[in-house]
């Protein structure tokens, strides 16, 4: 009796656990999932994304749920969670929602539907399309300005708004939306320490049923990598390094739509040839070889090993044939 009474007193004397501590212990909000809270401040303010759209026919990209109800599927910085892994997760898990990338400029949003990439956009029209496109030559400048203003408000690409208003030809506009989105996303490959977050949210795709998605996320990523302007700067490959396929890399590269240059370059990876030797075999300058290698490394198809001081004999039966689906 005395022991049971003392246990009751101990339970009564113990103060209740604060709700803040309970929330901190929930899965997905631990220090492992979130490295810091600074990334929330790096993204656009919530008040921006929650503003109602004046035009009811326009869908607001990135429209937030009530605080605390966002269904974050994954998040992290690209030094630990590579961009390629995030894009592949969309395809592998058939995800629908919004992938947001926060960096030193306006966040970039990638919309996905059932594992397909629908489009990439941002609320900064100048970042999205800094040049004047020939397709806009015969469009009223005021109409273009209004479409750009709508993109600032809700993130919908101004080219899509012009196509819906029948100001420009629809199919050509859709092709440009795809290209401009890939060109926009390509800047992230060279950006350091980007914070990425995927929020599962089917509502955000409600107004984009007229835009078809890219079914193969690997090919979509490869096309964005071809648009990278200066890939050798952030990684700085050693010409003596030896590229070698990862565990799944050789199987994945068979399914890619490679150009002839990419296919020939990839066929040289045998675990013994250095980047410099591959460039010599294919009569490529070192800059071109680095650009090609950057794509394979960014897709996590190959990894580079330090060159050995002792030359290794090359395998007699190499992978000399062209592979990939071709372009």
Q: Encode pLDDT of 18-64 as tens digits.
A: 444 444 444 444 444 434 444 334 444 443 433 433 344 444 554 44
Distance separating alpha carbons of residues 61 and 327, to the nearest angstrom: 33
Residue-by-residue DSSP string for 269-282: -SSS--HHHHHHHH
When computed from its CA atoms, the radius of gyration of the chain, rounded to whole angstroms, is 25
Calpha distance 158→131 (Å, rounded): 13
Name, in order, each residue with C-beta under 8 angstroms of 256's C-beta and a sequence gap of 6 or more.
218, 219, 222, 262, 324, 325
Determine the Cα–Cα distance for residues 102 and 81; give it in Å rounded to an integer. Answer: 13
Report pLDDT digits (tens) over 307-321: 764 445 555 444 444
Mean pLDDT of 154-182: 96
Sign for the CA dihedral angle at 63, 65, 69, 71 comes to negative
Is the pLDDT higher at 292 or at 8? 292
Q: What percent of the chain has pLDDT over 90?
A: 63
Residue 218 structure tokens: 């690997």
Identify the pLDDT of residue 279. Answer: 95
**Which run of H or E residues covers position 219?**
helix 217-225
Q: Model pTM?
A: 0.74
Beta bridge partners of 214: 117
Please report, to the nearest 10 degrees, the dihedral formed by the alpha carbons of residues 90, 95, 98, 102 taken in order.
-30
């Amino acid at each position: 009796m005395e022991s049971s009474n003392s246990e009751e007193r101990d339970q009564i004397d113990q103060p209740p656990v604060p709700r803040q501590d309970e929330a901190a212990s929930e899965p997905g909000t631990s220090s492992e999932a979130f490295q810091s809270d600074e990334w929330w401040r790096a993204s656009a303010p919530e008040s921006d994304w929650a503003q109602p759209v004046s035009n009811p026919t326009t869908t607001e990209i990135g429209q937030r749920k009530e605080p605390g109800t966002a269904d974050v599927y994954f998040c992290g910085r690209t030094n630990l969670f590579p961009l390629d892994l995030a894009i592949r997760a969309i395809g592998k898990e058939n995800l629908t929602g919004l992938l947001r990338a926060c960096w030193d400029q306006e966040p970039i949003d990638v919309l996905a539907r059932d594992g397909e990439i629908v489009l990439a956009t941002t609320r900064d029209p100048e970042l999205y399309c800094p040049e004047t496109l020939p397709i806009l030559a015969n469009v009223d400048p005021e109409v273009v300005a209004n479409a750009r203003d709508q993109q600032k408000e809700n993130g919908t690409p101004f080219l899509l708004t012009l196509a819906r208003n029948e100001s420009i030809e629809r199919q050509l506009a859709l092709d440009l939306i795809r290209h401009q989105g890939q060109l926009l996303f390509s800047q992230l490959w060279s950006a350091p320490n980007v914070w990425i977050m995927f929020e599962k949210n089917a509502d955000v795709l409600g107004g984009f049923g007229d835009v078809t998605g890219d079914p193969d996320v690997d090919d979509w990523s490869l096309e964005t990598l071809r648009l990278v302007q200066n890939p050798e700067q952030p990684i700085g490959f050693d010409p003596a390094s030896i590229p070698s396929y990862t565990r799944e890399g050789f199987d994945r590269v068979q399914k890619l739509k490679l150009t002839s240059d990419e296919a020939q370059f990839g066929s040289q990876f045998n675990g013994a040839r250095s980047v410099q030797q591959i460039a010599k075999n294919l009569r490529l300058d070192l800059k071109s070889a680095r650009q090609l290698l950057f794509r394979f490394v960014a897709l996590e198809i190959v990894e580079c090993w330090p060159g050995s001081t002792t030359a290794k004999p090359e395998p007699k039966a190499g992978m000399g044939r062209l592979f990939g689906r071709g372009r």
